[in-house]
Structure 1
Amino acid sequence: MILADEPLAKPRDTVHVGDELSARAKLSRAALDSVPEIFPAESLQVEGVKAFFYRGLDHKRQPTRVFAYYGVPALDESKRHGKLPAMVLIHGGGGTAFDRWVKVWNARGYAAIAMDLCGCVPVGAYGKWERHDHPGPRGWDASFEQLADPIEDQWTFQAVSAVKLAHSLIRSYPEVDADRIGVTGISWGGYLTCIVAGTDPRYQFAVPVYGCGFLGKNSAWLPAFEKLGAEQAKLWLSQWDPSVYLPQVKMPMLWVNGTNDFAYPMDSWQKSTRLSQGTNELCLRVRMPHGHGPAGEDPEEIHVFANSKLRDGKPLALITDQGLDGDSAWATFKSDVPIIKAELNYTLDTGRWQERKWEQMPVAFDGSTGRVSSPIPGGTTVCYFNLFDDRQCAVSSSHLER
């Protein structure tokens, strides 16, 4: 489908909710079913996708616009069978709407939309993108400075609402199957994905990459919270930490992270993965790099997970149980595809999670019984299993501390 440059639909009235409602209640209502007005962005067109603006929520009583890219697989209409599955893509800190990310999913057979969440357009350099004429609030760390503003004017509220509007827009397109849409986000986008999953139940699944909750317990932003002071930090966390929203999640989630992530360490990540009421599957790679590009956008596990939920793809292996038995660790699993390798990942270190040194060792597994077990090396403080299938996809047990 090619989008027209004129508005495709008139927006509904901007959502207004009473000040007595919590941030969670307000976000659950805001923009959920609105199909936003679209505006042209001719100077920002790139080959293979459509660039445009759509109307966001008002910010400080001023109208806003959100820049976005939308693309579909390059298939002749005569060769397309039925409606398309789709993905909503949420960029991380310093990012913007990336056409290349849309094209990654188009190449996989999905429609996809990526939007900018900080009032910018993809002109300039990473973290220094050009701001346009109808922006909302500045994002990410700047949200710590917005606590005196009404909830609806703060960045997290505006960003989550912009994602919801993008979701409403893409599901309104005739070529998209509204019952087969997933969402994924990277870093701050993973943080937003957690909140989106708890306030927009229309998705079939969510995949936060790196991003998680419990930022006040352990994260790269502990110095920022200390600078805010105890009262303001408590306010920000009570309004915007994903741990407030994750207990409302009922959809399947795939959590992707690395053992030494500088921003979202393993302890806060694990606490987050245990809050959702839906199924939670883990992919914790040893020393996984942090960023957009191949690191955060392209993991095959996300592709396989999406295909298993939105198409007829075989799912990732599933860890069904795990535990410690004296000086040994074990886990049980089931898999529709062959498991070809298992490893025990362990560290002898304590202290900051970001600085711990991780070791990997191959371990025995029994595919017929679905069990993996291993002695734990002496001095181990934390360990977990990774299983690899014949697609080179990794699934992880939850880490165990000794």
Structure 2
Amino acid sequence: MKKLIFFLLLSVQISHAQQKHVPVIDDKIIKVDTLLWDLKTLSKAPEIEWFDKTGNIHSLFYKGVDYNGKPTQVFAYYSNPDLLLGKKTGKTKFPGVVLLHGGGGKAFKEWVEKWAAEGYAAIAMDFSGKQEDVKAYTSPGPEQGDTDKFYKLETGSDLKNMWTYQAVANAILAHSLLLSFPEVEITKTCLTGISWGGYLTCLVGSLDNRFKAAAPVYGCAFYDESDIFKVPLEKLSPAIRKKWMKYFDPSSYMSFAKPQFLFVNGNKDRFYNVIPYDKTYKLIAETQRSMCLIPDMKHGHEAGWEPHEIRYLFESVINQAPPLPKVKQIAIKDSLITVSYSSPVSIWTADFYYSNDTTSLNETRVWNSQKVNIDPKTKILSSPIPKEGFKYGFFYLKDHRNVSASSEFIIN
């Protein structure tokens, strides 16, 4: 009898979630010869089972895509500003954000809490299949290790059993679920992810054109050129490596992306180095991308969700709030390097970072910096070219909101 009552309640929850019209992904603009993901099916809100609805952060399971022919459940945390204040969700509508963790991570309750406090309905799901604080997890998908991400493809595994396929599909389903909640404004949803979650953000943000803004942190495309990720890829046979790059590298999809993108990274990141990173953001139209290269940014989940520039970008897109500063039109002439910029708030400080170190790995590369001249009338930043020249460089600036932005990498 208890089981019958549970399933009746569950069916009511599912029906309630799907009463709201959920927009469908426009898959016609993803012009690849073979698209693994059934984007129309993934546009439908999945079935859910609430695990814990007490407190200000709720937890749930939602139905994921099949793995090895068997159904899966995905664990997630959810909250919104009303829940955070201990109120029942009312008539107020909130923008939404989907949060994608990185390698070794999980669904982070603190991350959801942070975004709910920022005014968003937020959902974070677990891609590992082993959320240690949830004992009822009985049907997970693949693990996060290199076997499920890379090597299993060499053994003839179905592409849909690979970690990337599963993670992308389940991230899109989380978005569909978020869009089905009555308190979420369907025209104001955003996406951010950290490290491997940044990689997923590049993929999901390119495939799911219902998002209005996306902020990959660290993660990028061209995995075969990464200091770190080229290692497992080089262990694959050339044919399998090519297959992985075709289906699972973001470079195959990013030219079709529709959201506004903010690329957040450090200049010395261990996993996502200068050359592939530079190639990645250039796949997105210049008018559609913003840059925030943060000098010596640490790599980690907390470090990755700290930059408030992500929220400023989202607010500028969905609520027409004042935008981030933007650096444009790099020019090198005689002994001077200049860039123009636009900013709704005056620039507080600016520096030029540069390096001639071409032999070190990205994380150990030696960088120097020098102050630059700020001309608020012409909106020009100028810096003498270092006497020793430079191989890699970028401008980094902050406005009087303490909001930072940067140029793209300048590579000689």
TM normalised by structure 2 equals 0.87
1:356 offset after TM fit, Å?
1.1
- Offset, 1:240: 0.5
Is 1:107 aligned to residue 117 of structure 2? yes
Of the three residues 183, 186, 189, the one matched with 2:197 is: 189
Instruction: Give the distance between the partners of 1:5 and 1:337, measured in 2 at CA.
Output: 52
Aligned partners of 2:56 and 2:85 also within 8 Å: no
Inter-CA distance 108–383: structure 2 relative to 1 (3 Å threshold): same
Which of 46, 69, 72 is the aligned partner of 1:64?
Answer: 72
Alignment of 1:2-401 (within 5 A): 6-7=10-11, 8-9=13-14, 25-27=35-37, 29=39, 31-42=41-52, 47-73=55-81, 74-75=84-85, 82-123=92-133, 132-141=137-146, 142-147=148-153, 148-277=156-285, 279-293=288-302, 295-351=303-359, 352-379=361-388, 380-401=390-411
1:385 Cα deviation after fit:
0.5
Residue-by-residue CA offset, 1:345-364 (whole Å, 9 max, x unaligned): 11121123332111222110
Letter in 1 for 2:150: F
Please report the RMSD computed on the Cα atoms of aligned residues, expressed in angstroms: 2.4
The question of whether the paired residues in 1 share the 8 Å contact of 2:95 and 2:189 is answered with yes
Q: Which residue in 2 is equivalent to 1:16?
A: none
Shift of the 328–122 alpha-carbon distance from structure 1 to 2, 3 Å rule, reads farther
Pairwise CA distance, 1:220:
1.0
For the residues of structure 2 that align with 1:5 and 1:373, how far apart are their CA atoms?
Answer: 64
Give per-residue Cα distances to partners, 1:71-119, cap 9 Å, x unaligned: 0113576998841011100000000100100000011111100001121
Within 1, Cα distance between the matches of 2:132 and 2:401? 34
Q: 1:24 to 1:394 in 2, by over 3 A?
A: farther
Tell me what 2:26 maps to: none
**Residue pair 1:98, 1:122 contacting (<8 A) in 2 also:** no
Letter in 1 for 2:139: H
8 Å contact from structure 1 (residues 23, 239) kept in 2: no
Structure 1's 39 and 362: CA in aligned 2 closer, same or farther, altered over 3 A? same
Cα distance between partner residues in 2 of 1:261 and 1:77: 41
Q: Deviations over 1:329-357 (max 9, x none)?
A: 11111111111111101112112333211
Q: Judge conservation of contact 2:56–2:86 (CA < 8 Å) in 1.
A: no
Q: 1:78 to 1:234 in 2, by over 3 A?
A: closer
Relative to structure 2, which stretch is displaced further, 358-367 or 182-191?
358-367
Contact map agreement 1:319 1:332 (CA 8 A) in 2: yes
Mapped contact 1:255–1:282 kept (Cα < 8 A): yes
Deviations 1:370-391 (A, max 9, x none): 1111111122222111121112
Contact map agreement 2:90 2:183 (CA 8 A) in 1: no
Deviates more, 1:230-239 or 1:252-261: 230-239
Greater helix proportion: 2
Taking the aligned partners of 1:171 and 1:360, their CA distance within structure 2 comes to 45
- Deviation string, structure 1 residues 154-175 (Cα, Å, up to 9, x no partner): 2111111101111001111111
Task: Note the C-alpha offset of 1:316.
Answer: 0.2
Give the Å deviation of 1:63.
0.5
* Pairwise CA distance, 1:303: 1.5
* Contact 1:219–1:268 under 8 Å retained in 2: no
2:37 is paired with a residue of what secondary structure?
helix
Q: How far is 1:218 from its partner?
A: 2.5
State the distance in 2 between where 1:202 and 1:78 align.
27
**Is 2:199–2:220's contact at 8 Å kept on the other side of the alignment?**
yes
- Residues 23, 151 of structure 1: 8 Å contact kept: no
Deviation string for 1:278-305 (max 9, x for gaps)? Answer: 6111111111000011x10121111211
Identity in percent: 36
Q: Distance in 2 between matches of 1:30 and 1:201?
A: 12
Quick one: distance in 2 between partners of 1:213 and 1:35?
Answer: 28
